[in-house]
Amino acid sequence: MTRLTGRAPGYRCLAVFVALLLLLATLPREGSAKVFDPEVFTLDNGLQVVVIPNRRAPIVTQMIYYKVGAADEAPGESGLAHFLEHLMFKGTSRYGPGEFSRIVAENGGRENAFTSWDMTAYFQTVARDRLEIVMDLEADRMTNLVLTDDVVLPEREVVREERRSRVGNNPGSQLNEAMQASLYLNHPYRTPVIGWDHEISALSTEAALAFYRRWYAPNNAVLVIAGDVDAATVRPLAERYYGAIPARPVPERLRPSEPPQHAERRVTLKSPRVNLPSVRIEYLAPSYRTAAGDEAYALQVLSEILGGGTTSRLYRDLVVERRIAASAGSGYSGDSYDFSSFVFYAAVLPGGAIADTEAALREDIADLLENGVTAEEVTAAKRRLTADAVYARDALATAPRIFGRALTTGSSVADVEAWPDRIDAVTAEDVNAAARAVLRDESSVTGILLPEPLS
């Protein structure tokens, strides 16, 4: 369950759905070899710093992650974490509105930001000799943000327009919101990251500043630097710019708990914007942090068996052999602070019936629960998960995103480095036990998306 809302160039926001578990699926497997072999240290003010040397090009990416997201908002203030993400570009006591982006661009860099339920992140990619510039800029807005109604209220309308374009005009997004609100009975993951429009329209300058002062502190952040650098280069800069910021008390993450679930739910949405009917079945699942033992790793292997491309069980059965679906698959991401979900999906072939496609998908789920997966399937899935391992180190943004997400959702550097060994240790028995524990009707929601003729 990784749903992110980000800020794109020109101050227009785009939805960014980052499947970081798919990135983890490409990590190297060399016995017990290190994955990224990062250099790690903590400043006196509590800021965690992770440095991942990558000498493939003379560039560097800086990412600062704050351990706060949409699930940490107070009731009635939905969208505040994402709104503050926008406002972090509106200027400080040193730099006016838009100056941050202008300076990054003038130095040949790229920058952006995103918000999820569990974190808020800001990043820049620049030439190696420009790292100090962006560290100075990012450290400045960690503590010196200046907001007034003159910049806050117009940006609030930008966010509302973003919601209208991304959700109001997109039936798939509308269905996702309804399913999320149904999957969670009480937990704040049921509220969209971007917020509900009527609550966004009431967000104020005072609320944004209070949220900023409550959560934006070095001892509640993780700094990840990847590229043509090492800790010997980064540490003095981090101490100079970030180390001067004093630590502050930060609230404990106290979120409403999820009660036991006893009834499966169903959501149907019809829209003239829908071309092909589709079905999604989503089950409440644990995350890496909340799973018992290595259950999350078993669920990841299960997802690869069921939905890992055109050779997976679901695609082969529903699309290739039975020809009852245009597409089919599954998904699971364990990188949430609290809960996650295991998802099945299928789209109907033109001229087909949604009832037939849903019935076929449920038959495959029932077969899985009755007969399980085989040792051969597990071995092949693990092989696929690690086959393209070498490419993970090539992409400069991969490592910072993996470490940032891990360290803001309860995992550690050691957990990331141990990922290949934990996947390798998964057995067929582990996968079957995880499937039977998670795929329970009473903790599921089914979403149906249907076309509706124009009247």
- Give catalytic residue positions: 85
Which secondary-structure segment (H or E) carries 303? helix 295-307
Give the chain's end-to-end CA distance (angstroms, integer): 36
Give dist(CA 25, CA 383) in Å, integer. 10
451 alpha-carbon distance from chain centroid: 29
The angle formed by the CA atoms of residues 398, 399 and 400, to the nearest 5 degrees, is 95
CB 281 within 8 A of CB 365: yes
- Sequence-distant (6+) residues with CB within 8 A of 162 are 12, 13, 194
Beta bridge partners of 121: 65, 114
Identify the sign of the CA torsion 167, 172, 178, 184: negative
DSSP 317-332: IIIIIS--EEEEEEEE
Q: DSSP secondary-structure letter at 168?
A: I
Rg over CA atoms, the chain: 22
383, two tokens: 């092989």
The tokens for 155 are: 């940006």
Q: Which two tokens stand for residue 354?
A: 């949604």
What is the distance, to the nearest Å, from the Cα of residue 277 to the centroid of all Cα atoms in its chain?
26
- Residue 369 phi, psi (nearest 5): -70, -30
Two tokens, residue 124: 């820049």
Phi, psi of 59 (to 5 degrees): -130, 165
CA dist., res. 256 & res. 73, Å (int): 11
* Residue 199 CB coordination number (10 Å): 16
Question: What is the DSSP secondary-structure string of 132-147?
Answer: HHHHHHHHHHHH-B--
